[in-house]
Amino acid sequence: MSDPAALYGIIGEFPTPVGAVAAARQLREIRLRLIDAYTPYPVEELDEVLHTPPSLGVALTTLAGAVFGAVSSTFVQYWAAAIDYPINVGGRPYNSWPAFTVSSFEVTLLFAVIGAFLAFLASSRLPLLFHPVFGAADFARASQDRFFLAVEAADPHFDAATVRAILERHGAAPIDEVLG
Amino acid sequence: MDPAFRRDDEFRNDERHVEMTVSAEHSDGLPVILPGVTLTSLSSHIGDAVLRPKMPLWWWIGFLFSLALLLVLVIASTWLFVNGIGIWGVNIPVAWGLAIAEYVWWIALASGGTIVSALFYLTRSPWRAAISRIAESMMLCAAASAGIMPILHLGRPGFFYWLFPYPNAMDIWPQFRSPLLWDFVCLLCYILMSLMFYYAGLLPDLATIRDQARTRGRQIFYGILALGWRGSTRQWRPYKTVYLIMAAIMAPMVVSVHSVVGLDFAGGLTPGWHSTQFPPYFFFGAVISGIALVILLTIPIRRAYALQPIITEYHLNALGKIMLTGSLMISFAYVWEAFGPFYGSEVAERTMFTERVFGLYAPIFWATIVLNVALPQLLWWPAVRVNEALLALIAVGIIIGMWCERFVIVVTSLHRDYPPSEWGNYAPTLWDWATFAGSIGLFLTLYFIVLRLVPIVPLAELRELLRDTAPR
């Protein structure tokens, strides 16, 4: 894959998600695994056909962010109010934790969202300004109104002629070779 | 009908899919998208609006008008920094004047954006998609206007960063037990979270604009902003998850934001403020005034961008119903606010309330009641809910009514404190009004910039909606 002139894969353009799903199913059947689809909106059927891994990482990182936010904000308030700068106001307790819960709640949510956002970038491999598929003919329409299916040449079961035939049978046009 | 959708029948007949997307909402027979909208026409219509080389006349007129108002803010705050807040009408006993009333007013307007985009995402309301970008953009712009108000109101605005808990040479910390600090933490978290939520929603649309851009500069600008999004299945899956998680977090967040603003008042020992109903009372205000501003922005944008096929009467009807609900909720709070002083035995509460209803500021109090309680009752009529002119009129009324409400809460409570020796009146000065006008200028300027740069409807979500609502 390091040779820039080498074949990255074959990509087909479909007018509807139905053709792309059917083609993906058949490509999976001949044991191709390095398949990806590029669609203008999420097509849940493609997740199933392509066995896209569920994004558990996003959920777990959100939880981790929330725990970090809760613990750190509570600690900062406790430490400042009870240890570093205790002020005796009419004998009230220094660690007046009920008064700390509001700020802790907000900071918990903030870090949960930060965690979710970073995990999303990591799991979708962004930012990545260049990708070989951007070179495919007409690929600009993948973000508008067309559905693309790409098979990588690195797949051990990759055979250009077979892939082309399957894409064509399900209505892909044009079918393009992508260099990368 | 677009043949692309006819072939989608396979998907729609899948029961699981139907269960995922059908909403229990009653549509009153109005379509959520008019027939004739296709994936292609949607992308090109919105993309062309963003990428047009020259903005139309209405944009320039609006933008330059807003910029002029923003200049008023620059002048007013420069004069404030030079002279201190003595240039405003605030003094003891009424130490919180227009600036604080407007802070509360702006943050309520901002909350409406999140209520539409987060709460109604969770309910899977079909009308939410087309107006969520309008609402979220409104949220960010209004939050900017809200954020400057308390800072300007600080006696020494240059030291506002003392609110941050940072280790410092003075060896002191902020007072973490104070609702005013909670409010600062809350607003800061809210703005940061909203930015991330906004950007996450925008990302696939930025990729659409990048792919449509023809000039080099725009390709680079939107290319970098889109982060290289390619709409891969491996990107959509975490995207859907993260958007749902963010919406689920933003929904309680927005409830907490205005509740904490309510605590600023409830925590103060002032007649009329010291009440446990304030957090929900303020959130009700956020619902009614926030939705009112969403309506007020949606109606002209819908016309200017010719969005009638995707922002239909269904949307206006739904927004009208929520505005009516908000009105009923806030009416409940008003009743409770009147009940409290007479149920309790505190003379000062009764004095203050009587003064509020019949005293110097009574016209503003009654304006609140007319505009927030009486006028919105017109929304019971379905014909009113789909009439743009009447909806806009009611929305303007509510926005003004909410401003009056904030003024009444802030000023009338302070002007009749417990001991009669602490009674006094407040009149805004020219600089108070200049700051107010300027904050509107800041909001509008930011909003016109958003209109220039950002696709004003979320394309990816509308494409999904298009698939789900295509006739069977």
Please give the structure tokens belonging to residue A8: 């990255």
**Record: contact A103-B253, CB cut-off 8 A:** no
| Cα–Cα distance measured from residue B331 to residue B132, given in angstroms and rounded to the nearest whole number | 27
- Edge-first strand order for the sheet with A7-14 is A35-38, A147-152, A7-14, A175-179
Residue of A nearest to B208 (CA): A143
The verdict on B200 touching A (C-beta cutoff 8 Å) is yes
Backbone angles phi, psi at B433, to 5 degrees: -70, -35
Give CB contacts under 8 A, 24+ apart, made by B385-393: B385/B316, B385/B317, B385/B320, B385/B321, B386/B30, B386/B313, B386/B316, B386/B317, B386/B320, B388/B299, B388/B316, B391/B295, B391/B299, B391/B316, B391/B319, B391/B320, B392/B295, B392/B296, B392/B299
**Record: contact B242-A55, CB cut-off 8 A:** yes
Per mean pLDDT, which range of A12-21, B170-179, B398-407, B424-433 is the poorest?
Answer: B170-179
pLDDT band at residue B26 using 50, 70 and 90 as cut-offs: low
A174 upstream amide cis, omega within 30 of 0: yes
CB-closest option in A19, A39, A116 to B245: A116
**pLDDT tens digit string along B209-239?**
999 999 999 999 999 999 999 999 999 999 9
Per mean pLDDT, which range of A44-48, B69-73, B372-376, B433-437 is the poorest?
Answer: A44-48
What part of B 342-371 touches A (C-beta under 8 Å)?
none
* Interface probe with B: pick from A8, A13, A14, A16, most Cβ of B within 10 Å: A16
**pLDDT tens digit string along B42-77?**
999 999 999 999 999 999 999 999 999 999 999 999
**Mean pLDDT across chain B:** 91
pLDDT band at residue B21 using 50, 70 and 90 as cut-offs: very low
The verdict on B138 touching A (C-beta cutoff 8 Å) is no
**Record: contact B460-A40, CB cut-off 8 A:** yes
Give the pLDDT of residue B25. Answer: 62
The verdict on B215 touching A (C-beta cutoff 8 Å) is no
Three-class DSSP category at A11? strand
Q: What is the mean pLDDT of residues A103-115?
A: 97
| Cα–Cα distance measured from residue B161 to residue A71, given in angstroms and rounded to the nearest whole number | 23
Please give the structure tokens belonging to residue B52: 């047009």
B231 or B17, which is more confident: B231
CA A32 to chain centre: 21
| Cα–Cα distance measured from residue A95 to residue A79, given in angstroms and rounded to the nearest whole number | 9
Return the domain boundaries, chain A. Answer: 7-51+139-179, 56-123
- CB count within 10 Å of CB A100 equals 22
> From residue B199, how far is each of A27, A121, B133, B135, B242 by CA, in Å?
35, 12, 11, 14, 12
Q: Kindly tell me if the per-residue pLDDT of B18 is higher than 50.
A: no
Q: What is the mean pLDDT of residues A36-47?
A: 94
| Cα–Cα distance measured from residue B95 to residue B155, given in angstroms and rounded to the nearest whole number | 11
pLDDT band at residue B376 using 50, 70 and 90 as cut-offs: very high
CA B435 to chain centre: 20
Give the pLDDT of residue B24. Answer: 53
Q: Partners of A10 in the beta sheet? A: A151, A177
CB-closest option in A38, A62, A76 to B232: A38
Give the pLDDT of residue B156. Answer: 86
| Cα–Cα distance measured from residue B370 to residue B373, given in angstroms and rounded to the nearest whole number | 6
Helices and strands (H and E) in chain A: how many: 5, 4
Please give the structure tokens belonging to residue B422: 């602490």
The verdict on B40 touching A (C-beta cutoff 8 Å) is yes
B35 or B362, which is more confident: B362
Asked whether B164 and B174 are in contact (CB, 8 A), the reply is: yes
**pLDDT tens digit string along B406-427?**
999 999 999 999 999 999 999 9
CA–CA min distance A43, chain B (Å) = 8
The two beta strands, A7-14 and A175-179, are antiparallel
Give the pLDDT of residue B415. Answer: 94
Question: CB under 8 Å to B431, separation ≥6 — which residues?
Answer: B76, B79, B80, B87, B88
- CB count within 10 Å of CB B104 equals 28
Give the pLDDT of residue A1. Answer: 45
- DSSP string computed for B116-157: IIIIHHHTT-TTHHHHHHHHHHHHHHHHHHHHHHHHHHSSSG
Q: How many CA atoms lie within 13 A of B453 on its CB side?
A: 12
SS3 content of chain B, % helix, strand, coil (to 5): 75, 0, 25
User: Which chain A residues touch B192 with a CB distance below 8 Å?
Assistant: 110, 113-114
The runs of H, that is alpha helices, within B213-232 are: 216-225
Give the pLDDT of residue A4. Answer: 53
Element (H, E) at A150: strand A147-152
Residue of B nearest to A130 (CA): B228
Asked whether B42 and B461 are in contact (CB, 8 A), the reply is: no
Question: CB under 8 Å to A27, separation ≥6 — which residues?
Answer: A35, A149, A151, A163, A166
B309 upstream amide cis, omega within 30 of 0: no
Q: Is the ipTM of this complex over 0.90?
A: yes
Please give the structure tokens belonging to residue B302: 């819908």
**pLDDT tens digit string along B117-172?**
999 999 989 999 999 999 999 999 999 999 999 999 988 888 889 989 888 888 88
Give the pLDDT of residue A79. Answer: 94
CA A117 to chain centre: 10
- DSSP string computed for B320-371: HHHHHHHHHHHHHHHHHHHHHHHHS--HHHHHHHHHHHHSTTHHHHHHHIII
Give the pLDDT of residue A149. Answer: 95
pTM summary value:
0.92
Q: Kindly tell me if the per-residue pLDDT of B469 is higher than 90.
A: no
* Interface probe with A: pick from B15, B166, B175, B236, most Cβ of A within 10 Å: B236
% of chain B residues with pLDDT over 70: 93
Q: Residue A132 carries which DSSP code?
A: G
Measured between alpha carbons, how far apart are the two ends of chain A, in Å?
Answer: 7
pLDDT band at residue B302 using 50, 70 and 90 as cut-offs: very high
| Cα–Cα distance measured from residue B374 to residue B371, given in angstroms and rounded to the nearest whole number | 6
CA neighbor of A134 nearest in space, from B206, B455, B235, B223 = B223
Three-class DSSP category at B216? helix
Q: How many CA atoms lie within 13 A of B9 on its CB side?
A: 6
Give the pLDDT of residue B425. Answer: 94
CB-closest option in A15, A106, A124 to B235: A124
Q: What CATH code would you report for A7-51+139-179?
A: 3.30.70
A38: left (phi over 0), alpha (psi -120 to 50) or beta: beta
pLDDT band at residue B13 using 50, 70 and 90 as cut-offs: very low
Nearest-10 Cα torsion for B91, B95, B101, B102:
60
The two beta strands, A35-38 and A175-179, are unpaired
> From residue B184, how far is each of B80, B179, B190 by CA, in Å?
21, 9, 10
